[in-house]
Amino acid sequence: MNNFVDLQSQEFKIDYGHEIEIEINRLEDLILATSSVNSMYPTRWLAIKLLETDEDITLRLRVLKGGDGLIAEARNSIDNLQKLLGDDLDVFMADRRYGWINGLVREIVQKPSISRLTLSDQIDKIVTNRILGIPIFLIAMWVVFKLTADVSAPYLDWVDGLINGPILRWCISLVNLVGLGGTWVESLVVDGIIAGVGGVLVFVPVLMFLYIALAVLEDSGYMARAAFVMDRLMHALGLHGKSFLPMLVGFGCTVPAIYATRTLENKKDRILTGLLVPFMSCGARLPVYVLFAAIFFPNNPSAVVFSMYLLGIVVAILLGILLKKTLFKDKEQSTFVMELPPYRVPTFRGVWLHTWERTGAFVRKAWTVIMATSILLWLLMSIPVSGRGEFASVDVTDSVFASVNQAIAPIFKPLGFNSWEASGALVTGFVAKEVVVSTMSQVYAVDEEVEEAVEESPTFFEDIGEILSSFVGATFDTVKSLPLIVGVNLFDAEEEDETTALMAAIQNGFESTSKGHGALAALAFMVFVLIYTPCMVAIAAERHELGMNWTWVSIIGQLVLAWLLAFIVFQGGKLLGLG
């Protein structure tokens, strides 16, 4: 190192190279000759600042006598040096400083001879490995969905029992108490609000477990690695490396995921990613998968749920590759550097707060959008068409809702689910995807459940006792469900065989429309729900970020693709003799 350290004067100078040192010396001489300046600042320091065109120093010198002259001389020096060096002078000088620091650190800092890698680095060598990274990511997601679909089941049953038992009874009693029993008010409460909102609230435990798992992954620092690994895959496939970050957000909700595309600098990349983000299965679709997986694939519901999410990722990637080679051709292939936070043990408080906020948002949605939709749906199901029946006591198949959807249903005949109930559920899914489930609860209205609830009539305190004891039972069963994550089933066959009347009604409906291929039709239905247009709020976000034209492309494209993929699943499965 050609640097001079004067221990007596406690000064040191970084050598900026011969050409720059000549100019520094020249400027120092000029500074010394400028009396208004030479006593205020160290000469070498001021000379370097002038060459770096430091804005603050420039402003200070302008108000001093002779300052403008120094600035002009510095400008000449800069011009000469940039011609000689062929690069920005301040970059060159900063580079020399960093080089000096780096060299000094190497000379004087002693590090242990053992591996300098931190624990986080050592884990990252495996987790972000080019070969192991993606399988590890898939395993992590598998565990998440096992937890979500299997382990949450006891609490799901508990909430279902609570809503269709005590809560239903209490509401009916209340309605009877005010003398409105047997009127349209009772129908609104039971068939509208409880069926609709209750049908969605049943899935609160499922979403809660999903959010717990995601919160643990986020708080541990793994999510950043997942994004890094997937971004690397995106890059390898010719897509933008940072596309997966917004997509990861899309697993929670499509709306902020669309807004997250703003982090992409290139407009083409933003639009492309915005078109692909809706294929990431948002949390609102999860109740649909869990319900249908439990009905039609009771032996392995978590595998079916997992495959839906995986399918969404695969469709997004394949479509992205196709669009990148056609509509979004771009020679530039940028890359980036990502900070990876250190791993840490998630705290209970942190995980709980994340889970509570997210579950709260879901429940808020249930009490607002879903309730409003349920009431509207009840209204449409209560109005008789063609004068058959009376308001609120018409057979649901003779209602306005059924009539409208009977006109749409034939579109889905090749997909195996051409009932007005299924098509109606898909239509209402434009409001919010959870409404698909609440609509199913309403259109497949099962009087048996209501009659059972009313017939039982325990006292209020008996109900409270039953609620608490069944909650404790559900908690024990949840703990017993944990080994299901690794495939160990501690439940008896009898304990598992709990098909509700609603589940039976949906199963019969799909078996009927698919002529005995109910499981295939259900799979096709789930695929349709995965791919077709997201909710209206997401469409509004697309319009805002992508523009109206691309939004229409997105809507129509998703509907067509959903139909095609569901068709392939149903018809292809029949040809192969599956389901």
Give the interface with another protein as residue ranges (CB under 8 A). 86-88, 91, 94-95, 98-99, 101-102, 105, 121, 124, 128, 211, 218, 223-224, 227-228, 231-232, 235-236, 241-242, 245-246, 248-249, 252-253, 255-257, 259-260, 262-263, 265-266, 332, 334-341, 354, 357-358, 360-362, 364-365, 368-369, 535, 537, 541, 544
Tokens 């005010």 sit at which residue? 178
Compare residues 221 and 573 and give the one whose CB is closer to another protein: 221
* Smallest distance from another protein to CB 327, Å: 20
Tokens 């059924």 sit at which residue? 402
Q: Is 363 exposed, middle or buried (0-12, 13-18, 19+ CB in 10 A)?
A: middle
Compare residues 218 and 398 and give the one whose CB is closer to another protein: 218
Which residue from 412, 364, 394 is spatially nearest to 509, judged by alpha carbons?
412
DSSP string, 379-401: HHHHSBSTT-S-TTTS-GGGBHH
Residues 6+ apart with CB under 8 A from 167: 194, 198
* Smallest distance from another protein to CB 116, Å: 9
Compare residues 169 and 235 and give the one whose CB is closer to another protein: 235
Task: Report how far residue 173's alpha carbon sits from residue 167's, in angstroms, rounded to the nearest whole number.
Answer: 10
Compare residues 43 and 261 and give the one whose CB is closer to another protein: 261
Q: Do 528 and 420 meet the contact criterion of CB atoms below 8 Å apart? A: no
* Smallest distance from another protein to CB 245, Å: 5
Measured CA distances, 176 to 182, 233, 339, 417 (Å): 8, 61, 62, 39
Q: Do 252 and 282 meet the contact criterion of CB atoms below 8 Å apart? A: yes
Which residue from 135, 312, 332, 317 is spatially nearest to 231, judged by alpha carbons?
317
Compare residues 265 and 451 and give the one whose CB is closer to another protein: 265
* Smallest distance from another protein to CB 332, Å: 6
456 sits in which H/E element: helix 447-456
Compare residues 34 and 551 and give the one whose CB is closer to another protein: 551
Compare residues 260 and 505 and give the one whose CB is closer to another protein: 260
Task: Report how far residue 309's alpha carbon sits from residue 530's, in angstroms, rounded to the nearest whole number.
Answer: 8
Q: Do 290 and 301 meet the contact criterion of CB atoms below 8 Å apart? A: yes
* Smallest distance from another protein to CB 53, Å: 12
* Smallest distance from another protein to CB 154, Å: 25
* Smallest distance from another protein to CB 329, Å: 16
* Smallest distance from another protein to CB 543, Å: 12
Compare residues 229 and 440 and give the one whose CB is closer to another protein: 229
Q: Which 8-state DSSP code applies to residue 6?
A: E
Compare residues 112 and 387 and give the one whose CB is closer to another protein: 112
* Smallest distance from another protein to CB 426, Å: 20
Q: Which 8-state DSSP code applies to residue 86?
A: S
Compare residues 190 and 535 and give the one whose CB is closer to another protein: 535
Q: At what angle do helices 55-62 and 43-51 cross, to 10 degrees?
A: 110
DSSP string, 534-567: --HHHHHHHHHHH-HHHHHHHHHHHHHHHHHHHH
Q: Which 8-state DSSP code applies to residue 319?
A: H
* Smallest distance from another protein to CB 353, Å: 9
* Smallest distance from another protein to CB 311, Å: 21
Compare residues 433 and 517 and give the one whose CB is closer to another protein: 433
Task: Report how far residue 100's alpha carbon sits from residue 381's, in angstroms, rounded to the nearest whole number.
Answer: 78
Compare residues 235 and 324 and give the one whose CB is closer to another protein: 235
Which residue from 140, 137, 325 is spatially nearest to 231, judged by alpha carbons?
137
* Smallest distance from another protein to CB 270, Å: 12
* Smallest distance from another protein to CB 381, Å: 23
* Smallest distance from another protein to CB 225, Å: 9
Task: Report how far residue 18's alpha carbon sits from residue 531's, in angstroms, rounded to the nearest whole number.
Answer: 65
Task: Report how far residue 282's alpha carbon sits from residue 254's, in angstroms, rounded to the nearest whole number.
Answer: 6
Compare residues 362 and 570 and give the one whose CB is closer to another protein: 362
Q: What does the block give as tokens for 178?
A: 């005010």
Q: 42 — phi, psi (to 5°)?
A: -60, 135
* Cβ atoms within 10 Å of 210's Cβ, excluding its own: 26
Q: What does the block give as tokens for 7?
A: 């221990």
Q: What does the block give as tokens for 118?
A: 């931190």
Residue 438, Cα to own-chain centre: how many angstroms?
Answer: 22
Compare residues 120 and 406 and give the one whose CB is closer to another protein: 120
Rounded to a whole number of angstroms, the CA Rg of the chain reads 33
Task: Report how far residue 565's alpha carbon sits from residue 447's, in angstroms, rounded to the nearest whole number.
Answer: 35
